Chain A
Amino acid sequence: MRPVYMVSGGVSKFEKARPDATFQKMVKEAFDYTMGDVPRLKPSMIEGSVGSYFSDHFTRQLMAGIMATDYLGMCPKPNKRIEGGGATGGLCFQAAWESVASGRMDVCLAFGFETMSHVQTWKGNEFIALASDVNFDYPVGGFYSGYYAMMVNRHIHEFGTTVEQMAMVSVKNHMNAYNNPYAQKRKRLTIQDVRNSEMVAYPLTLLDICVMSDGAAACILASEEAAFRLTDRPVKITGVGTGTDMMRMADRPHGEVILAPNEKKSDYKKLKYPGVHSFRAGRSAGLQAYKMAGITDPVREIDFVELHDAYTSSEIQTYEDLALCKYGEGGKFVEEGHPFMPQIEYGLKLKTKGTIPVNPSGGLIACGHPVGATGLMQAVFAFWQIQGTIKKHYGSPELQLKKANRGLIHSHAGTGTYVTVSILERGW
């Protein structure tokens, strides 16, 4: 495998609904922004593309991937569709990485989109719930917020995590998004606002849960030689990992923790793992990516994280999977302030801030979650953060981290069935 770099990215503004545009047009917006940011790149230099969208039900259009490809003028070059639930975008990013790492392409485009406004919210929830076993799970009352609520209730039982700790994730991510013009929800909230909003699936309230969106995102990945030809500030992809787990939550094993380099067996004497409280796929993906990037102490060696916070609870669970803290310490990790941005005022009493900022962009909870675009959106926001170009792209510098040499992006599907982790680093 040869080194792979990201040279550009673009995101359409995520909205509740984009009736003014079809999915092709939204992809075109993200693509044109991407091209505009690297003037030396001409469309003819892109040797092929990978496209991602989650649900054929939302699009009601089979082979939508080729329709976006032809709209972008990328025919007759290679293209394929990548799909894996909520991790669709993350898998697409890694598929583009594979295309370049293998030597098949020198420059590869990754694009993703979702058009979730084409049905009412509760029908959308039904479509999403079809990503659970239709023999045994979906017919019992298929609802992803219900599934995540069950998982966090077990997390609360095992570790004493609190709903206030979960609410702090919501306050953090909405507040971060306040300065991100691409975000769908830019709000100053309090813990009480989160707890007082409508109960959706106990204990998850409306503000613990991400929203459905229309949107698109695009990334350009390139070989080392092409990357430095195209930009002075390419970002190197130094680690990729992909984990999986049983589709049915009920089938998850109750065994031993897969240990991170900074953990010991004696840390988890009584814990049955992963059960339904943790995501084994996330741990697996993280450890693969850490090994490849040579990371042994993630919280010290990574500067920031963009992770898949479809739920406030899953952000806390993911801190643990990624070994930013030990299993069981995720609630305390946020309560103490570690994942907050150092320069943002949240209206919370925090012991510390900025140990490792998580979701500086606002994450899925505030930016929105147009599924096929989400994992690529994280790549774009992380790319700008590492390049130091947040001010240029957001129009204001508030969210630019002083030290952003190495970032982690994390995309997550199902109840933890597919998880991707990719490590991005300053490449120049």
Chain B
Amino acid sequence: MAKNDPKAKNPPRRNPAAKLEEVMTGTTVFNIPFPKDLNTLKSMSPIVIKHPYYVEYIHSYGQDSPFFAGLANRKLLGTRCGRCDYTYATPRLHCTRCGKETKWVELPQEGRVHTFTTCYFGSEEFLKETPFHLVLVEFDGVDTLLLARLIGVEGPEDIRIGMKIRAKFRRNSQLKPTDVYFVPVG
């Protein structure tokens, strides 16, 4: 074979394990063949059907509700225990340490990345948003963390633990925890 054969440099990219992704579309079947000989019935298995299941919940945020009202008004709210002063970035209306009811407090809108990841796959609900970046945010003077999305970076190589990030809010609130998201500072 000639030395300059381009095929020698770039071997054909062939993947014997390639396969089409399964889809949930198909043909509706209204009847099914049946054998005369009942002794062969076991070979009629398995019959697999599609069963859609859709539910609308009336989901109450309950005692956590003010957090979402805060987001709609560009405020990031946590809670603080009146007895032991423990401060929660993700609100909790009773202190897990001493059991006392906590008070709502406004959190700083700047924090640091405590840890992070970039998701290239995800649950079905979020698959269309991949890749996306998740961060646990730490705030000065606050004892616990907050889970949020980070935008304004391309990949995990652009994110560092300890890096400063700032909260931003959706103008049109969805009343979801994603109404607040974070971007890198400066």
> Which residues of chain B in 105-134 are interfacial with respect to chain A, using CB atoms and an 8 Å cutoff?
114-127, 129, 132, 134
Shortest C-beta distance, B183 to chain A (Å), equals 15
CA distance A248 to B114 in the complex (A): 15
Report if A136 contacts B (CB, 8 A). Answer: yes
Bound Cα distance from A175 to B45, whole angstroms: 34
Docked complex: A121-154 residues within 8 A CB-CB of B: 122-123, 125-126, 128-129, 133-137, 139-143, 145-146, 149-151, 153-154
**Nearest-Cβ distance from residue B78 to partner chain A, whole angstroms:** 11
Residues of A within 8 A of B177 (CB): 135-137, 139-140
Q: How far is the CA of A276 from the CA of B113 in the complex (A)?
A: 13
Cβ contacts B45-88/A at 8 Å (1 or 0 each): 11010010100000101001000000000000000000000001
A153 touches B122 (CB 8 A): no
Interface residue count on the A side (C-beta < 8 Å): 43
**Are A251 and B90 neighbours in the complex by a CB distance under 8 Å?**
yes
- A129 and B117 form a contact (CB under 8 A): no
B129 surroundings in chain A (CB, below 8 A):
141
A151 B115 Cβ-Cβ under 8 A: yes
- A178-203, CB < 8 A from B: 198-203
Q: Find chain B residues with CB under 8 A from A135 CB.
A: 61, 64, 177
CA distance A200 to B90 in the complex (A): 26
CB of A250 within 8 A of CB of B89, answer yes
User: What B residues does A154 contact at CB under 8 A?
Assistant: 114-115, 161
One of B116, B125, B146 near A250 (C-beta < 8 A):
B146
Whether A140 lies near B134 (C-beta < 8 A) is yes
Interface contact B136-A249, CB-CB below 8 Å:
yes
Q: Is A120 close to B, CB under 8 A?
A: yes
Binary CB contact string for chain A from 249 to 267 against chain B (1 if under 8 A, 0 otherwise): 1111110000000000000
B96 to chain A, nearest CB (A): 7
Residue of B nearest to A123 (CB): B124
Q: A291 near B: Cβ within 8 Å?
A: no
B residues at A contact (CB < 8 Å) = 22, 24, 45-46, 48, 51, 53, 59, 61, 64, 88-90, 92, 96, 114-127, 129, 132, 134-136, 143-149, 155-156, 161, 176-178
Extra pairs beyond A123-B123, A125-B121, A143-B126 (6, CB < 8 Å): A126-B123, A137-B147, A141-B123, A141-B129, A157-B161, A200-B121
